[in-house]
Structure 1
Amino acid sequence: MKEIKFAIVGPVQAQQRPRFSRQNGHVRTYDDKKSRTYKAHVQKCAARYAPEQLIDSAIELHIDVFHKLQQSGSKQLKADKLAHRVRPTVKPDLDNLAKGIKDALTGMMWVDDAQVVDLIMHKYYAVEPYAVVTIKY
């Protein structure tokens, strides 16, 4: 089994709802600016790890999301968060976080995000926000 692993620096953005517009009687669907910017950032972080040919087999995708540790709270609470004894239960939801990353990597790492047959995700706290993506195929 092959593996690609890389980090996405900065806060992970949830996939926003699509926007719609009418042009010549047709409805056009598009991502808002925030989603487009985030997807471009993910692609930039992943670019040097992209395979020569797109993955066309089943994929096991692991995403570990690290939220920024808040300044408020006791020293013990902060220590528990950094030791992963206390985990984030705040929004955004994991599935929305995964969607933006999967969409950004479609056409860059794999042919279609339907190839992801296993999705394993975790949310943790860290001093600075980031995510670690592992692709196994």
Structure 2
Amino acid sequence: MQVLKFTIPITPVAQKRARHAVRGKHACAYKHKDQRSAEQVLNTFLKDFQPTQPLTGPLVLGVRAFLPIPKSKPKKFKAAAQAGEIRPIVKPDMDNVLKHIKDCMSQMRYWGDDKQVVEYLPGTGKYYSDQPRWEIELRPWVPDMKPLEEA
């Protein structure tokens, strides 16, 4: 398998919690309409990079979510954020960002199940940028050939 590496030029968002309701005498869970809309937009972009067959075996995923720099911040903050000296410690949280991209990649059949993702690449995280985007990398997991050093 080759390495899949691509950029999606939309602002990263997080997975929203499932909504719950009682309809008649039955409880049900459903996605918020904003969640469905965000998934449709992301899936439109993911379709362009979709593998012909779902990937098999253990996978390593890299996700860099570039969030917009807040306009309300001073110039010094904006310059530091653009230079990578400041990282976002605001919502959305990284777990939900990863959940959103993995769920969409599952819907687009990048893999059989997201349980195949056994590791994240170094650099996976949230960043600031003037150009909000997702940077995605997906590759097969290769066992480390280095023996563990004895203590």
TM-score, length basis structure 2: 0.81
The total of aligned residue pairs comes to 137
Q: Displacement of 1:94 after TM fit?
A: 0.1
Residue type of the alignment partner of 1:100: H
Q: Does the 8 Å contact 1:65/1:130 carry over to 2?
A: yes
Q: Displacement of 1:32 after TM fit?
A: 1.1
Describe how 1:1-137 pairs up with structure 2 within 5 A.
Answer: 2-22=2-22, 25-108=25-108, 109-120=110-121, 121-137=124-140
Runs of 4+ in 1 over 6 A off after TM superposition: none
Q: Displacement of 1:23 after TM fit?
A: 5.0
Q: Percent identity?
A: 32
Moved more, 16-25 or 127-136: 16-25
Q: Structure 1 unaligned segments of length 5 or more: list them.
A: none
Q: Displacement of 1:131 after TM fit?
A: 1.1
- Cα-to-partner distance string for 1:69-90 (whole Å, 9 max, x where unaligned): 1223333322111110111111
* Corresponding residue SS for 2:8: strand
- Cα-to-partner distance string for 1:10-47 (whole Å, 9 max, x where unaligned): 22111111122345654332211111111111211111
Alignment RMSD: 1.8
Q: 2-side partners of 1:72 and 1:115: how far apart?
A: 40
Change (3 A) 1:58 1:73: same
Q: 2-side partners of 1:42 and 1:5: how far apart?
A: 16
Q: 2-side partners of 1:84 and 1:119: how far apart?
A: 20
Q: Structure 2 unaligned segments of length 5 or more: list them.
A: 141-151
TM-score, length basis structure 1: 0.89
Moved more, 7-16 or 51-60: 7-16
